[in-house]
Amino acid sequence: MSTTQGPGTVTGPATSPTGAPSRWDRMFREITTGSAIISVLAVVLALVVGAVMIAFTNKEVQASAGYFFSRPGDLLAAIWNAVSGAYSALFQGSIYNFRRPSFAAGIKPLTETLTFATPLIMAGLGVALGFRVGMFNIGGRGQMLIAAALGGWVGFAVDLPYGLHMIVALVVGILGGALWGGIVGLLKARTGAHEVITTIMLNYVAFYLVSYLLREGFLKTPGSNNPKSPATKVTAVFPDLLGPNYILHFGFILAILATIFTWWLLSRSNLGFQFRAVGLNPHAAKVAGISVKRMYVYAMMLSGGLVGLAGINQVLGTTTSGFGAGLDSGIGFDAITVALLGRSKPWGVFWAGILFGAFKAGGFSMQAAEGVPIDIVLVVQSLIVLFIAAPPLVRAIFRLPVPGAIRRKTQVNVSQEVAAK
């Protein structure tokens, strides 16, 4: 029995190195198949659907639709007016207002956007960090409240020199958030309790605890029946960045620093390396000697600390006249959306936070100027999440290629026959 080789050479398996794909080729694929483009397109799609809703709810559009067949141009004009009016109000309310006389006044909306964005970025980073370690931190509200309560107390009850006071309040606030997050991590590591359950429950614990403290505890304003804390002392308040005419404060610098820190942590430090390993494959991490349980605790502490930073930012920067139990005003939950839109990448979260800050700032002026209900903004935000959660849908609409579809050169196989039978 002998083997008769076919003519020509026989190719071995996977002799691949036929030149790596060019940089541009790779960059193009990264952009089209990567996650960033999906986020951007999700926003675009959400704005389109939002436009449809604005048109539908607009009175003039409804009226002109009644005589569509006699004068169709009216309907189109009405739709155009409604949608362009709403979105231009959104733009002018969030970025630059052309109707103001000077640049200094015109740029004011952008500073408001950044102020709104600050806590969203901070809390979004916290949630994103949790995502990267494979945990869903829904406890933003509780962590913000505890951070604000502890840090805020330092802010109004302790006397310290200017600057130092702020730093102490800041650190205490971050530690408060880290504590509240750390409890969740500890419960998960020790008992296996799922973090979604425990964070939600701890939200209630924090809310009622802080409410109680505001009414009868150490957060109560003396001589007042309002469940509201005293005002933060001047020595602890964040300095304004652009002078007293603008509301933008030092918190935004902190948000940038937090973003840089989180980026370093996740992509440069060994702790972040272990975090990512646990998040992507806890089994392999465990076999590689990484203590998965310890990582859960550390990650929840850091996540809680970042969310806590958002809480203390509200007390020392945005609303310094005293806080109530509603101080998180939904930021803890919006942070989840921000983290999703930012694809749990620090700089992605940063830009997503600014976008959502813009929605918040612009939503009010859209309502005021055009009478478009502010709920539309909420709908657009929700649609963004919806589209992000369904990348195949977005890909189908824009006909994008599927990621991970490995391009491989088809290999020539030379058939050969073994003398058989």
Partner 1 sequence: MKLELRGITKKFGALVANDHINLTVEAGEIHALLGENGAGKSTLMNVLYGLYRAEEGEILLDDVVQHFAGPGDAMAAGIGMVHQHFMLIPVFTVAENVMLGHEDTKTGGRLDLAAARKHVREISDRFGFDVDPDALVEDLPVGVQQRVEIIKAVSRDAKVLVFDEPTAVLTPQETDELMVIMRQLKEAGTSIVFITHKLREVRAVADRITVIRLGAVVGEASPTATNVELATMMVGRAVDLTVDKAPAVPGDAALVVKNLSVLDPHGQVLVNNVSFEVHNGEILAIAGVQGNGQTELTEALMGLQPRVSGEITLDGKSLRGHSVRQVLEAGVGFVPEDRTEDGLVGEFTIAENLMLDRSNDEPFVKRWNVQRALLAKFAGEKVMEFDVRSQGIDTPVGRLSGGNQQKVVLARELSRDLRLFVAAQPTRGLDVGSIEFVHERIVATRDAGTPVVVISTELDEVAALADRIMVMYRGRIVGIVPGDTPRAVLGLMMAGEAPAGEGAAA
What does the binding site for partner 1 look like in residue numbers (CB under 8 A)? 1, 3, 10-17, 20-21, 268-271, 273-274, 276-277, 280-281, 283-291, 402, 404-408, 410-411, 413, 415-418, 420-421
Q: How far is the CB of 25 from partner 1 (least distance, A)?
A: 12
Q: How far is the CB of 398 from partner 1 (least distance, A)?
A: 18
Place of tokens 């005003």: 329
| Residue 45 CB-density burial (10 A; 0-12 exposed, 13-18 middle, 19+ buried) | buried
Angle at 412 between CA 411 and CA 417, to 5 degrees: 130
> With contact defined as beta carbons under 8 Å apart, do 347 and 39 qualify?
no
Query: What six digits make up the tokens of 15?
Result: 């002799």
> With contact defined as beta carbons under 8 Å apart, do 337 and 385 qualify?
yes
Q: How far is the CB of 23 from partner 1 (least distance, A)?
A: 12
C-alpha–C-alpha distance, residues 193 and 302, integer Å: 19
Q: How far is the CB of 189 from partner 1 (least distance, A)?
A: 14
In the complex with partner 1, the residue whose CB is nearer, 273 or 364, is 273
In the complex with partner 1, the residue whose CB is nearer, 114 or 301, is 301
In the complex with partner 1, the residue whose CB is nearer, 121 or 285, is 285
Query: What six digits make up the tokens of 352?
Result: 């997503």
Q: How far is the CB of 13 from partner 1 (least distance, A)?
A: 6
In the complex with partner 1, the residue whose CB is nearer, 3 or 102, is 3
In the complex with partner 1, the residue whose CB is nearer, 194 or 294, is 294
- Specify the DSSP class assigned to residue 401: P
Measured in whole angstroms, the distance separating CA 153 from the mean position of its chain's CA atoms is 28
Q: How far is the CB of 36 from partner 1 (least distance, A)?
A: 17
In the complex with partner 1, the residue whose CB is nearer, 291 or 329, is 291
Backbone angles phi, psi at 83, to 5 degrees: -70, -45
> With contact defined as beta carbons under 8 Å apart, do 294 and 189 qualify?
yes
Of 287, 285, 284, the C-alpha closest to 275 is 285
